[in-house]
Amino acid sequence: MEQSIDKHSKQLIVSNIELFLNYSLRFYDHEFIARENVNKRFLESFGEFLKDYFLSDGTETIGLPSVAYFADKLCLSPNYFGDFTKNETGKSAQEYIQNKIIDEAKNKLFISNKSINEIPFELGFKYPQHFIRLFKTRVGHTPNKYCNLN
């Protein structure tokens, strides 16, 4: 037998659900604040994992570093890792990784005697044009023009 719920009961139910969701969001956000020292260690570990990734042959065997790869290394879910990175750096985990890729590319452009066509493969790109597109988006110039300007 169905009973109709009056508009006041509906409003009370909706208000309670909203209150519960707000408490849940507050708790979730509080996790980032309360764990400041742990967060610094995670960010340092993330940086070390990124550095090691480029020093190892990870780029050649695995390809471009992914959010899921580093989340797994830090024993976090990809979603939590993404929220954590955004909260700590102001950038999404993907943006942070891409910025590190570009930093690594800039170093390789200046300190290695490799051609600009070899560097994308060393960084894990399957196609040089994807590297050039990302580089131009982040830096404002193609790798060739960037080298000529600097």
**What CATH number should be reported for the domain holding residue 78?**
1.10.10.60
Q: Minimal CA–CA distance to 31: which of 93, 76, 96?
A: 76
Is a pLDDT exceeding 70 seen at residue 26?
Answer: yes
**Can you read off the two tokens belonging to residue 31?**
């996790």
Identify the pLDDT of residue 110.
Answer: 81
pLDDT digits (tens, 9 = 90+) for 56-68: 766 667 788 888 9
Confidence at residue 31, expressed as pLDDT on a 0 to 100 scale: 67
pTM for this entry: 0.66
- Residue 71's alpha-carbon distances to 32, 48, 64, 132, 135, in angstroms, are 16, 13, 14, 26, 24
Give per-residue pLDDT as tens, 70-93: 888 888 899 988 888 888 888 898
Q: How many domains does the chain divide into? A: 1
Token pair recorded at residue 129: 């044009």
- 2 in a structural domain: no
Whether residue 1 lies inside any domain: the answer is: no
**Is there a domain that residue 48 lies in?**
yes
Distance of alpha carbon 91 from alpha carbon 61, whole angstroms: 27
**% of residues, the chain, pLDDT over 90:** 10
Q: Which domain holds residue 19?
A: 7-149
Identify whether 16 is part of a domain. yes
Look up residue 56 and give its two tokens. Answer: 């190892």
Whether the per-residue pLDDT at 100 is higher than 80: the answer is: yes
Residue 63 is assigned to a structural domain of this protein: yes
Closest CA to 130 of 96, 102, 100: 102
What per-residue string of b and e applies to 57-96 under the rule 16 or more CB within 10 Å gives b?
ebbeeeebbebebbbebbebeeeebbbbbeebeeeebeeb
Determine the pLDDT at residue 48: 85
